[in-house]
Structure 1
Amino acid sequence: MRSLQIFSLALACVLNQFATPASAETPVRIVTFNAEILTAPGIRAGNLEKYRWDIARRAQFERVASIIEVLNPDILNLVEVTSKEGVDLLIEILHEKGLTDLHGYHVENNDSYTGMDVALITRFEPVEVDGARIRTLNSEENDPTWRQAFPAVSRKGNKYQATTSISRNAVYLMDIDGHKLGFLGLHLKSNPSDEYANAKRSAQAEIAKRVVQQEIVSRGYTPIILGDINDYDPDVPDRDETRDTATTVLSDLKDFDPSKPGSELFNVAKLMPRQADRFTSLWDRNENGVMDPFDVMTMIDHILLPQAFEPYVKRAFIFHSIDLTTTDHLAVVVDLLLPRKVAVPATAAVTQ
C-alpha cells in the first residue's frame, strides 16, 4: 500500500511538469467607434441622414460589420447608431459571419433631433442594474440630477445661463475574471472651435464626472470612459499640432475625483508611439470622398483607462483603414492583458 502511495505521488509530480498551466492573464480588446449616423433600412430615427436609400444604408451596415469582423473586439462602444433595429441588424450580419459570441445592447438615448445613440457590442454579458444591461442617464429641465448649468452667449452677444444634459451616453458594467469594470460611453457636443459648443461640452464633462462617481465607483466598479469626446487632449499631441483645446474637458474627465491627488485615468493615445497616427476624425473639406493633404485630421475619439491599468496595456492603436463612404471617424483600439483575480484551484493532494 505504501509503495502504491509513493508511486501515485511521483506520477502526479511528473504529470504536473507537463500539464499546461491555466493562463494568468485574460486578453480583452476594447474599441470605441463612431459609425456616423448608422441608420437601419426603413427607419427614420432623427433629422440627420448619411444615406436616404435603403440599399445604401444596407451597404454601410455591411462595411461597418466588416470593420468589426477585422477588429474582433471583446467590447465595442458603438457611437451614432440610431436605433435598436440598427444594432440588431449589425448583430445579425456579424452572426452570419460566424461571430456568434458577439451580442448587442441598445438603449434609446435622449437626442430627439439627431436620434443618435451610444450602444454596446460585446462578448461579455453586462451586469444587470435596475433591470437593464445598458442604461442612459438624462434629466429633463426640471430635474437637476444629470443636468448642469453653463454660461452662454447668444448670437446677438447677450450673456445668459443655459443648462444641458448628456443626451447621448451609455453606462454598462462588466465582471471580467475578477475585474469589475464600469464603462461610460460618451458622445459629447461637437465642434471644438465654437465657443458655445465648448461651454456646453465642458458642462457635459461635469455631468460625466458625477455619473462616474455615482453610477460606477459607488457600485464598486473601476471606471473606463470612452467615445466621441469631440475635444483634444492637451497631454497627448495629435497629428494636427495647430489645433489646441480651448477647454479642460479631457483633463476633467481624467481627473474625475479632484479630492484625490493626480488624475485617476490616462489616455491610451499616449501609448501610441507615432504622433502622425494619432487622428480619429477627418473633415473632408472639399467633400471628394478621399483623404487629401489639406483635410483636417484630428483626434477627438478617446479611451481613458485607470492609471493602474497602464501596465496591462499590450498595444493601443487607431484603425485607419476605413473609407469615408462608411464614416468620417476611425476606431480607437486598446488591447489589455488583465491579470486574473479568480483563484486557480491547486493540484489536489494525494491521499495518504
Structure 2
Amino acid sequence: MLDLPAAARLYLRPIQFVDTPIGGDGAVARLAGGLLWFSAYELIVVEGCTRIRQRVVSIAEAEADPRLAPIAARITASRVPLTLGTRTLRFDQPQVMAILNMTPDSFSDGGKHMGDPAAAAQSGVEMSIAGAAILDVGGESTRPGAETVWEGDEIARVVPVIARLAASSAAISIDTRKAAVMEAALAAGAHLVNDVSALLYDDRALEVVARADCPVVLMHAADPKRGAQGKGGYADPLIEVYDWLEARVEAVVAAGVDRAKIVIDPGIGFGKSLADNLALMNGLALFHGIGCPILLGASRKRIVGALANEAPAEQRLGGSLALALKGAALGVQLLRVHDAFESVQALRVWRGMEDAARTAPHAAL
C-alpha cells in the first residue's frame, strides 16, 4: 500500500497508453470501457492548493490502495449508454456532436441559418448523414461580448428547427442556460440539455432537468452567470476545474438527476487563459476519475487562433481537428464541432489506425 498523507486529496491521470492489451494481463487497464488501454497512472497528491507529490504508479498499485482503488474503478468503468429518442448513444468510441447555431452573432457561423428553420433542419440532417451522433441546437451565442438573448426570442429561434429535426429521428441537444428554453426544446423533441453554466445560470434549470429525467452536459465556467466573460485566475487549472466539476456532479445528483445521465465538459475557452486551456487539453485524461463521459468543445475557439498566427474563426479547421484528435487520444467520448463531415472523417481514420495497431504482428509479442 502506498504511503499517502491522510488529509491530502488524491488524483489519478491515466498515462503510458499502449497499442494493445495483448500480453499485458494485470499490467494494463481499459480506459472507460473504450478503445484505449494504458499501463500506468500519474498520481497527484494535493494539500490545500498545492501539489505536494507527483509520481507514476502501476495499475496494480492503484488497484491495491484503498484510497486510490475507487478512483481507478471510476476511470476504467464502462460509461452507460444514453437513450436519445429512438437512438442509443454508446461511449465505446468517440462520437461527434455537431453544432447547429440559430444565432446572428456566433463568432464562427452567426447568421447562416437565421430566419430559415427548414434550411437549418436540412443542414442538421446532412450532418447526421455525415456521421454526427448528436445535433446541438443553440439560439444564443456564448462568445465573449455576446449579449444575453430574451428567452422568448431564443425559443422562437430553436423550437421550429428542433421540431423538424425530431421528425427525422435525429438525436437532438438543446444548447441553453435558460429553464424556459429547456422546457420548450424538450417538448419540441430535444433529448439532451447542454448547459454552459452547469445548471447554475437559471434557478429553475436543475428542477427542469431532474423532472424531465433527461441527459445533461455540465460545463465548467469560471463564472457560470457570466459565461465566457468570466475570469478565472487559476493557480492549478487542471485540479481546480476537476474539483469544481466533481462537486457540481455530486450536487446535481443530490437534486435528483441520474448520475448515469450526466456528461462533463471542462469548458475550454470559458474564462480561461491560453495556458489554462493548454493545461486542460494535456490533462484531459484526469477527468475520467469523475466517472462521467467527457465532452470536449474546442472547435474554432480562441486557443486555435492563439497557436496559429491569429487565424480567424473561419480558418481554424486544421487546429480544431488537431484538438479533436488530441481529445480522442485521451479518451474523450464526445467532440462538439462545427465541421461535422471533416471531424467524422478524421475520427474514422484515427479509429482505423487504432484498430490496426491492435491486430499488428508485433501486438502479441
Q: How high is the TM-score relative to the length of structure 2?
A: 0.32
Which structure: greater strand fraction?
1
Which structure: greater helix fraction?
2
